[in-house]
Structure formats: structure tokens, C-alpha cells
Copies of this chain bind each other. A is one copy, B any other.
Amino acid sequence: MTQTLPALDRSREHLLPALRTAIARLDPASRLAASYHLGWCAPDGTPSQGNGGKAIRPALALLSAEAVGAPAAVGLPGAVAVELVHNFSLLHDDLMDGDVERRHRRTVWAIWGGDTAILTGDALLALAQEVVLEAGTPAAARAGLLLATTTRELTRGQVQDVAFETRDDVTLDECIEMASGKTGSLLAASAAIGAVLAGAAEPVETALKTFGAQVGLAFQLVDDVLGIWGDPVVTGKPVFSDLRSRKKTLPVSYTLGDPRHGPELAAWLAAPGEPDDAALRRAADLVENAGGRDWALSEARERMSLAEKALSTVDIDEEARTELTALGRFIVDRDS
């Protein structure tokens, strides 16, 4: 994913100064941890050259304001807010998942401990609401409400994700529900919050949310395929990485429901010890032979078509529609 899009470049340009102003309000300890997490500095505070990621969610937020004819600036508080909520969830999830690295850098909890990860996450979540509610308008209240319900959905998804680790009877429907919470809900909110701040009518808000939610699911499906068969050079993760960690991803969950290959994969997932390369290859073959890979990719295509259909049903700015569609495809189309 080294290519980029004009909408993403514009978004980063808008976003960064506003995000920095928001982060500057935090207490010194949370500010340092958040700035480090965003790639702006080293753990000792020395500024670094990190650009803080692709900022896909803020780009969706800004485009959604333009979609209803407002300037991108109207969506800016929403763009900052969704980026803050995204990073709140990363800080807490990294701690819960025990991940010591993110984007080749140590995670906040791995450096400063769990308390700092919890408190910095809490502060970012509060800050997100602050940024969006400051205007004090009914539209701000609607946007804040969207953020709040989305945060509950994110949390629900993570509750399921944590619970799935110790369950061996997770259904495909539950996996899709979990992905809708963890990935779909914030992309849905991102794709609508700028429009909400611009006072969009309900059907437009709903269509934009559907677009974001379906793009989110398509992304997750492709990401799960890459987690098994992705080129380590492209993904930055080892081959079979999601199998190695025995994650109940969507293609795995699909395979578990297959009467021919499901039982063997279930036994494989339950077996103790570190699997060797042959065992990993065998598990990947089970998913492939059960049709898990084809299913996930075709389901991703189906989700993308639902996303684009949702956009086509409402009367929005043509340029924004084109850019949203391109951004949706960019999010999902990775070198799989």
C-alpha cells in the first residue's frame, strides 16, 4: 500500500494541524504517549518524521461533508474525532491483545505500562467528543451521538474478539458481527460524520453509513485472506501469520462450518504447541479446499458492490461520490 490518493493527501493536510491542536490539550503524560503513538515523536519526546498513518477515516469524514455540498472544513471536527476514537481503540486493544509492536514500533503499554495505555485511551475518547461538541449546535449533538453509539459498537466487537479466543464454537455469523463492530462501525461513522455536521438529511446519513460499513467488512475479508496467504513483503507480517496465532478469522470461521474440512481444522486450532511450517501449510490448504478463500474474496466483492449501490441511491455531490468510491476501493484493493 505505497500508492496514495489525492483525497488522502488533502485529508492529511487538513487533519494534522487540527489533530495536533487537539492533542496539545492533553495533560503532559497523556500528550507524550499519544504523540508517540501517532508517530510524531520518540518515547523521550524527540520529534520524529512519522506521518501518523494513512488517515483513511478522516478522509472519509471530510469527503462526507463535501458529499452534501459543504466545504471539507465543516467535517474537520468529525475527521479529528474519528481519528481520535480509532487511536483510543488501538491503545486499549494493543494492551488487551498483548501486542508489543504496531507498525514496527513498540506499543504504548509495552513502553509505559498498562496504566498509561488505559488513561491515554480514555483521554483520547473524551477529547474526541470535546472536539465534535464544541460547536454546541444540534448537528454537533447528532455527530457526538453518532460517535458514542459507534464507540459502543467498537467495544462490543472487542468484547466478542476477546471472548472468541477461548471459545471453540464461534459461528460465521458471530464472526461477521464481530467484524462489523470492530472494523465496520467506525468506518461507517467516518463516512457519515462530516455529512451529519453539515446537517445532512437522515437518508443521506444512512446511505453514507451503509457505504462505510460495507467497505469495512470488505476490507476485513480481504485483510483476513492476506493474513493467511498474503505476501510478507506487502503485509509486513510473516506468512500464515493469522493461522500461527490461531485467530478465528472470517475464512477460518467459514471453513469450520464445512462438514468435510471443518472438523480437521477445529482439531488443528485446538492442538497445543507452536505449529511448524508443514502444519501451517496444511491448515491453509484446509481453508482453501473448503472454499474459504474464494468465499471471502467473493463476499468482499459483494460487500463492495453493496457499498457502491448505497452511494448511488442518494443525491450527493458527484465529485465526492467519485472520490468516496475510489477511496473505498483503495481501502479494500490490496495486493492479495
- Chain A residues in contact with chain B, CB under 8 A? 25-27, 29-30, 92, 95-96, 114-115, 118-119, 121-123, 125-127, 129-130, 133-138, 140-142, 144-145, 147-149, 151-152, 155-156, 158-160, 162-163
Contact of A159 among B29, B141, B163 (CB under 8 A): B29
Contact of A118 among B92, B127, B149 (CB under 8 A): B92
Question: Nearest B residue to A26 by beta-carbon distance?
Answer: B152
Contact of A126 among B26, B136, B152, B162 (CB under 8 A): B152
Contact of A145 among B95, B123, B133 (CB under 8 A): B133
CA distance A156 to B124 in the complex (A): 12
14 contacts between A and B (CB under 8 A): A26-B152, A27-B155, A29-B159, A30-B156, A114-B114, A118-B118, A122-B122, A123-B151, A123-B156, A127-B148, A135-B141, A136-B142, A138-B138, A140-B141
- On whether the beta carbons of B148 and A129 are closer than 8 Å, the reply is yes
CA distance A250 to B256 in the complex (A): 59
- On whether the beta carbons of A126 and B155 are closer than 8 Å, the reply is yes
Question: Nearest B residue to A136 by beta-carbon distance?
Answer: B141
Residue among A27, A136, A137, A142 with the highest chain B CB neighbour number at 10 A:
A27
